[in-house]
């Protein structure tokens, strides 16, 4: 699909990711936001879009809006009725699902542009990767053929990753002076990366900061590699990638906040044990969700990939 302007609907805009999407989309020169749906805030003005109000729309009403593109920012397990309704009314609508509902569906394209840019372009059904999954996939992808067992990924996310529904993982008092491990085996994003990139063991944690992810990944290498050789593999893999930065330094999560790119660095090698370590940081609400969704929308609709997404001098 290639058009010059697109009418876009946003479904499920109350949460942190929905608010980031609104902020990005309202500044995008090629999108007209046709509607914003929220079951919890009907009639309330949409922040930053004073001429729009949240609407409580069921699946059929969303489909009848006839938008060129729809972003689903719903909790997991709620998107399928909306997709079915759109399929029945306007099946060529571009749908980007930010939830996990279609990340394991072969009929949908996995929306990680650094791996599947050519397949995403022109697609109408795109499953946006999870935040931890994006970090792990970018860290492990370039070396997946060079490791002899699953990569070990120790991840720490800001509490915005736990969403807006109250829980211990977004309770500031529970997190104060604390680091909270959770779902240490079989995490959804662990299965997601294993399916789309290669085997990973993910150990997620949540900390008291609001946004950002830092992930330290341990790699058991088949053959010894020097630190410089390991870094060179990543530099080669991401040459020309506008939203991945490579650095010799250990990237800090605070520097990832409000930035649309991932940074990979801190390359370290134990030659005797054939073990490499890399660190990746990103903003879980941007490259881990909203700005990646916009990147996928741009590709699907034939717009410049970075339109509406801030960049930086390289």
List pLDDT tens digits, range 276-297: 999 999 999 999 999 999 999 9
The domain made up of 131-282 has a fold known as Dihydrodipicolinate Reductase; domain 2 (3.30.360)
Mean pLDDT over residues 120-134, rounded?
A: 97
Catalytic (active site) residue 201: no
Confidence at residue 1, expressed as pLDDT on a 0 to 100 scale: 55
Confidence at residue 60, expressed as pLDDT on a 0 to 100 scale: 97
Confidence at residue 112, expressed as pLDDT on a 0 to 100 scale: 98
Each residue of 168-216: pLDDT tens digit?
A: 898 888 999 999 999 999 999 999 999 999 999 999 999 999 999 999 9
Each residue of 49-81: pLDDT tens digit?
A: 878 999 999 999 999 999 999 999 999 999 999
Options 131, 217, 246, 285, the catalytic residue = 131
- For the chain, which residues make up each domain, given as ranges? 6-128+289-301, 131-282
Q: Write the class of the CATH domain 6-128+289-301.
A: alpha beta
Reply yes or no on whether the pLDDT at 314 is more than 70: no
Reply yes or no on whether the pLDDT at 15 is more than 90: no
As a whole number, the mean pLDDT across the chain is: 94
40 phi-psi bin (left φ>0, alpha ψ -120 to 50, beta other): alpha
Reply yes or no on whether the pLDDT at 312 is more than 70: no
Split at pLDDT 50, 70, 90, the class of 39 is confident
More confident residue, 163 or 90: 90
Reply yes or no on whether the pLDDT at 98 is more than 90: yes
Q: How many percent of the chain have pLDDT more than 90? A: 85
CA atoms of 38 and 127, how far apart (whole Å): 21
Mean pLDDT over residues 8-19, rounded?
A: 89
Each residue of 142-172: pLDDT tens digit?
A: 999 999 999 999 999 999 988 877 888 988 8
Confidence at residue 289, expressed as pLDDT on a 0 to 100 scale: 97
Total-model pTM: 0.95
């Amino acid at each position: 699909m290639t058009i010059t302007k697109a009418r876009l609907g946003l479904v499920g805009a109350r949460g942190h990711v929905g608010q980031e999407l609104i902020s990005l989309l309202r500044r995008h020169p090629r999108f007209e936001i046709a509607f914003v749906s929220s079951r919890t805030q009907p009639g309330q003005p949409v922040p930053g879009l004073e001429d729009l109000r949240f609407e409580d729309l069921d699946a059929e009403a969303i489909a009848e809006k006839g938008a060129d593109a729809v972003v689903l920012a719903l909790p997991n397990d709620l998107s399928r009725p909306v997709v079915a309704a759109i399929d029945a009314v306007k099946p060529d609508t571009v749908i980007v699902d930010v939830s996990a509902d279609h990340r394991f569906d072969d009929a949908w394209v996995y929306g990680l542009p650094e791996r599947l840019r050519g397949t995403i372009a022109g697609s109408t059904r795109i499953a946006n990767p999870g935040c931890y999954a994006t970090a792990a996939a970018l860290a492990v992808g370039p070396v997946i053929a060079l490791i002899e067992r699953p990569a070990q990924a120790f991840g720490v996310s800001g509490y915005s990753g736990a969403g807006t529904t109250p829980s211990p993982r977004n309770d500031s008092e529970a997190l104060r002076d604390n680091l909270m491990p959770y779902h240490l085996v079989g995490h959804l994003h662990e299965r997601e990366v294993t399916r789309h990139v290669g085997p990973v063991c993910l150990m997620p944690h949540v900390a008291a900061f609001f946004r950002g992810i830092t992930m330290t990944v341990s790699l058991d290498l088949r053959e010894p590699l020097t630190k410089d050789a390991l870094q060179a593999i990543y530099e080669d893999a991401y040459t020309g990638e506008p939203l991945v930065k490579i650095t010799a330094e250990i990237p800090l999560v605070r520097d990832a906040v409000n930035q649309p790119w991932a940074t990979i660095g801190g390359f370290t090698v134990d030659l005797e044990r054939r073990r490499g370590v890399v660190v990746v940081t990103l903003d879980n609400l941007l490259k881990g969700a909203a700005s990646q969704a916009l990147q996928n929308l741009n590709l699907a609709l034939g717009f410049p990939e970075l339109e509406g997404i801030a960049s930086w001098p390289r």
